[in-house]
Chain A
Amino acid sequence: MRGKYVIAGIGHTQFGRLPGRGTVSLNVEACRNALADAGIDKSVVDALFVKVPTSRYQSMYGQTLAEAMRMQPKVGGVWDQGGATNISMISFACMAIDAGQCEVALVTLADDPKTGTRQAYEKAWGDDAAYGWFSIAAGYAMIMQRHIAEYGTKPEQFGEIAVAVRNHGAKNPHAALRAPLTLEKYLDSPFIVQPLRRDDICLVSDGAAAVVVMSEKRANELGVKAPVRILGFGQGQTSYDVPYREVLTETMAKVSAETAFKMAGLTPKDIDVAQIYDCYTIAVLMTLEDYGFCRKGEGGRWVEDGRVAAGGELPINTSGGLLSETGMPGLQLVMEGVRQMRGTSVNQVRDAATCIVSNQGGIMTTHSTMILGH
């Protein structure tokens, strides 16, 4: 399947605070924009893959959305792997098309935790709430602390990631947070759940994004102008909650990437630019390790000296990622991967021919990887 399927179009809404819209309207707008970007009509779409909104669970939401777009998909529904869902849905779309179940798929995500509820991010962890154990952030902080203890990872090294990504976002006119960041400012930012500082933590945003998936052959037939090839994908799930993981500093991201690299016939050395899920800086650092860009425990030293910043050896999150562009869980990274391959990024990596994209959900619980390329 390597290179046989493409992302034919990408679309998104504004990012930030979007009161009064609701996720159905946001999804429809993103789909409308993705179809326009692909230059195709709604009538050719026969599959609709939808990520469950974290702000409000609703039974058969995928069908509610299909109705709002007057569609009768052959394949459709809601998937839930948290933030890993997006790339997983794109890979499921490729597999469904390959199996002859459908031809053209819309993959879409909308969420409105900024104006709606943040319960998904700030929740109590069952009976452990009696010990004060709350929030997604604290789970990441627990992993980060263990990484620091095992490998001596320094605050400045996490700061390198935050500074690089925030400065990429500062150049993106669509980014929700455009204020650049310095290492000094990062180190001065207050602890939320120590060792996590405020500037280690992603935004909370309303917004939506969608992509169109089809075969390269179909894209040619439909006259799609800028299709981008999907070279490989993979998934992996660390399905033990943080307290019950035997090892805190390794995840199934490794397996997910190995699957994707194998399918693409590539290795980390072949990757020109990366979009790495940056809900928290520790997630970026550990994903870079698990993907094999450096050895386990060496992520801190590896990101030093601007290696992941624009102009560095492996620029990451070139549109600002979750830390700056939008807190929306993951599809912005896929869209930016597509832009890099098209040569239209605001932080374009010159001659970039391959881009790896990571999506993950929960507290490094689920993982999905995709490699885009020429």
Chain B
Amino acid sequence: MSFPLPEPTPLSQPYWDALRAGRLTFQRCGKCSHAWLPARAECPNCLSAEWDWTKASGKGRVVSWVIYHHAYHEAFKAQLPYNVALVELDEGPRLITNIVNPDLGIKADRPVTLQIEEEHGVALARFALV
């Protein structure tokens, strides 16, 4: 079974292009300054359609994480057990990711830093425990 590649839309294409170029970006509202991911056409806070893609510092913290012992997709069978983490960026947005060095000990609120990795031809925003 093939790897579940992201399916960029006209709205999310800039996010994936930026990752490929080595930058993690998020959207920031021009009206209320709310910051968010994933890509949306309107600010979920004030509903404005005025926003820009902004470069993230790449610093954040672990909110929570899980370890899969069962693969819900064929492509992840060989990787079991693997982690999926929820990271909050210092700028506020949260994203689903993987921790690249879990052997250091994943802990809630532990600081992490961006480590972009390429897999199946797509650049993914992963994080390393600091």
- Whether A associates with B in a native complex is yes
What residues on B are CB-neighbors of A133 within 8 Å? Answer: 84, 96
Which chain A residues border B38 with CB–CB below 8 Å?
A: 126-127
Given A132-B82, A134-B72, A243-B96, A150 contacting B66 (CB threshold 8 A): no
Q: A129-B73, A138-B66, A142-B64 are in contact. Are A150 and B79 (CB under 8 A)?
A: no
- CB of A220 within 8 Å of the partner chain: no
Interface residues of A in 126-145 (CB under 8 A from B): 126-135, 138, 141-143, 145
Contact yes or no, B81 A194, CB < 8 A: yes
B5 contacts across to A, CB distance below 8 A = 130
Q: Does A271 contact B (CB under 8 A)?
A: no
By the criterion CB–CB under 8 Å, are A134 and B73 in contact? yes
User: What residues on B are CB-neighbors of A3 within 8 Å?
Assistant: none
Cα separation A128 to B95 with both chains bound (whole Å): 9
Contact indicator A192/B7 (Cβ below 8 Å) = no
Q: Give the most central of A128, A131, A243: most B CB within 10 Å.
A: A131
B72 to chain A, nearest CB (A): 4
CB-CB under 8 A from A130, the residues of chain B are 3-6, 119, 122, 124
Q: Chain B contacts of A149 at CB under 8 A?
A: 64, 107-109
Closest to B107 in A: A149
Interface residues of B in 71-130 (CB under 8 A from A): 72-73, 76, 79, 81-82, 84, 86, 94-98, 107-109, 119, 122, 124, 126
Give the residues in chain A near B98, CB-CB below 8 Å.
Answer: 131-132
Q: How far is the CA of A190 from the CA of B81 in the complex (A)?
A: 12
Which range holds the interface residue count of chain B? 35 or more
* Docked complex: B57-71 residues within 8 A CB-CB of A: 63-70
The reply to whether the CB of A248 lies closer than 8 angstroms to some CB of chain B is yes
Contact (A127, B66) CB under 8 Å given A132-B76, A132-B79, A132-B98 = no
**Is A124 an interface position by the 8 A CB rule?**
yes
Q: A141 near B66 (CB under 8 angstroms)? A: yes
Q: How many residues of A contact B (CB 8 A)?
A: 32
Residue of A nearest to B66 (CB): A141
Which of B64, B79, B81, B82 has the most A CB atoms < 10 Å from its CB?
A: B64
Nearest CB of B to A260, in Å: 29
A131 and B73 in contact, given A138-B68, A142-B86, A194-B66 (Cβ under 8 angstroms): no
Does chain B have a CB within 8 A of A122? Answer: yes
Please tell me if the beta carbons of A142 and B124 are within 8 angstroms of each other in the complex.
Answer: no
Residue of B nearest to A150 (CB): B108
Cα separation A186 to B51 with both chains bound (whole Å): 50
C-alpha gap A345/B9 in the complex (Å): 53
B7–A127 CB distance below 8 A: yes
Q: Which of A135, A191, A242 contacts B67 (CB 8 A)?
A: A191
B108 touches A146 (CB 8 A): yes
Name the distance in Å between B45's Cβ and chain A's nearest Cβ: 12
B residues less than 8 Å from A124 (CB atoms) = 4, 72-73
The answer to whether A131 and B96 have CB atoms under 8 Å apart is yes
Bound together, the chains give a CA A117 to CA B86 distance in angstroms of 28
Given contacts A124-B4, A132-B82, contact A145 B70 (CB under 8 A): no
Q: A121: shortest Cβ distance to chain B, in Å?
A: 9
CA–CA, A127 and B4, complex, Å: 8
Question: A138 contacts B84, CB within 8 Å?
Answer: yes
The reply on A244 being an interface residue by CB < 8 A is: yes
Closest to B68 in A: A193
In the bound assembly, the distance between CA atoms of A128 and B98 in angstroms comes to 10
The answer for the CA separation of A129 and B5 in the assembled complex, in Å, is: 8
Interchain CB contact (< 8 A) of A194 among B6, B36, B67, B122: B67
Q: Which of A145, A190, A196 contacts B64 (CB 8 A)?
A: A145
B residues sitting closer than 8 Å to A (CB atoms) are 3-8, 12, 36, 38, 63-70, 72-73, 76, 79, 81-82, 84, 86, 94-98, 107-109, 119, 122, 124, 126
16 pairs across A/B with beta carbons < 8 Å?
A: A131-B84, A131-B126, A133-B96, A134-B72, A134-B76, A135-B72, A138-B84, A142-B66, A143-B64, A145-B65, A190-B69, A191-B69, A192-B70, A193-B69, A193-B70, A244-B94
Q: 9 nearest interchain CB pairs?
A: A149-B108, A134-B72, A129-B4, A127-B6, A194-B67, A146-B64, A141-B66, A128-B96, A191-B69
